[in-house]
Amino acid sequence: MLMKPILKTALLNAAGTAVYVIAVASFLFYAPKLVGPVHSVLMPIAMLLLFVFSAALTGSLILGRPALWYLDGRKKEALSLLLYTLGIFLGITLAALSALFILRAG
């Protein structure tokens, strides 16, 4: 069965966002263990730069195409894409939280 193009785009956007979040979280978790503590003004600067970049990247992955479609007059499709993307991303988030609680309980 072929997947609807909007659903496929939503899946790619949500998965791309999740992969990016996993990569950044893994970096933030393992970097101090590899490098050690950093006592410099560069650390808060780097963290704020990463925060702003992350907001822009994830915002464009989740909201970019729906906004373009909406402005192009494809309002129904834009809303469908946004809702599918958010729904899939919520599912990924709930799966991660479930895994966390399962690992914690076990």
Mean pLDDT by 10 residues, the chain (106 residues): 84 98 96 88 94 97 97 96 98 97 87
Which residue type does 7 have?
Answer: L
State the pLDDT at residue 23. 97
State the pLDDT at residue 2. 56
Three-class SS of 19-79 = HHHHHHHHHHHHHHHHHCCCCCCHHHHHHHHHHHHHHHHHHHHHHHHHHHHHHCCCHHHHH
Distance CA 90, CA 106 (A): 24
Read off the pTM: 0.88
Exposure string for 10-19, b = 16+ CB within 10 A, e = fewer: beebbeebbe
